[in-house]
Amino acid sequence: MSRQEIRNCIFRGLDSRYSNFVAELSNNEIFREIVNISTLNEEMMYYEELVLRYLTLKNQGTRYAQANIQDYMDDYLESQCREFNESIVNSDRQLFENIMNILKGLKEKYIFKLGRRYFTTSMYDAIMLSLSEESKNLSQINIDELGKRIAELKERKEFTRYVGSASSNPTSITNKVKIAKQILLGISEA
């Protein structure tokens, strides 16, 4: 079983509403079209895992003390199942749908592609978390300009040096997102 399948079994016993929310977002048609994973990965609940990864990093931050990102996601899901907050869920749902509509507008088949891989969590984290930036109004984003900036991000050495075997450690994720926000949105963080 995958970690997401195990999570799905364990945490549903606490309160299934948050797990159902994750499943709902993972079934978003645009999301599935953009991510486009294999049938095997789909059976292992990888769509759900990617949604949970996004929500964890967005809501808990990119820095974590757990041994790995999977443990961080476990802890986040457990906390949300224990303290379900419908207001936050509704806000996250709306933001996710807005991001999907922007990404669909790019009309690019492999938005999260980097190098030879058609999907990478490095691009996924960078784009999703950048577009979740609270200081930006998504309705004001110029789609064509965003597409050009995503292409630029994929070529930047300061970004790609954080891609690879350790790309899911807190330092790599934090740095990738910081660089992506700078390139995609013009946001500089200290």
Give domain status of residue 181, yes or no: yes
Give domain status of residue 98, yes or no: yes
pLDDT string in tens for the chain (190-residue length): 676 666 665 656 667 899 999 999 999 999 999 998 877 777 778 899 999 999 999 999 999 988 889 999 999 999 998 899 999 999 999 999 999 999 999 988 889 999 888 889 999 999 999 999 987 888 889 999 999 999 999 999 999 998 876 778 899 999 999 999 999 998 876 5
SS3 178: helix
* Cβ-contact 123, 113 below 8 angstroms: yes
Q: Where are the alpha helices (DSSP H) in 38-155?
A: 39-43, 46-60, 69-82, 86-105, 121-131, 143-155
pLDDT of the residue at 45: 84
166's tokens:
């350790």
pLDDT of the residue at 136: 80
Residue 60 belongs to domain spanning: 3-185
pLDDT of the residue at 11: 59
The letter for the amino acid at 6 is I
Total residue count of the chain as it appears in this document: 190
Give domain status of residue 135, yes or no: yes
pLDDT of the residue at 13: 63
Give domain status of residue 190, yes or no: no
Give domain status of residue 76, yes or no: yes
* Cβ-contact 37, 119 below 8 angstroms: yes
pLDDT of the residue at 77: 92
Total count of domains within the chain: 1
DSSP bridge pairs for 114 = 117
Neighbours of 11 (CB within 10 A): 20
Q: Is the pTM of this model over 0.85?
A: yes
Give domain status of residue 21, yes or no: yes
Give domain status of residue 138, yes or no: yes
Distance (Å, whole) CA 188 – CA 179:
8
Give domain status of residue 171, yes or no: yes
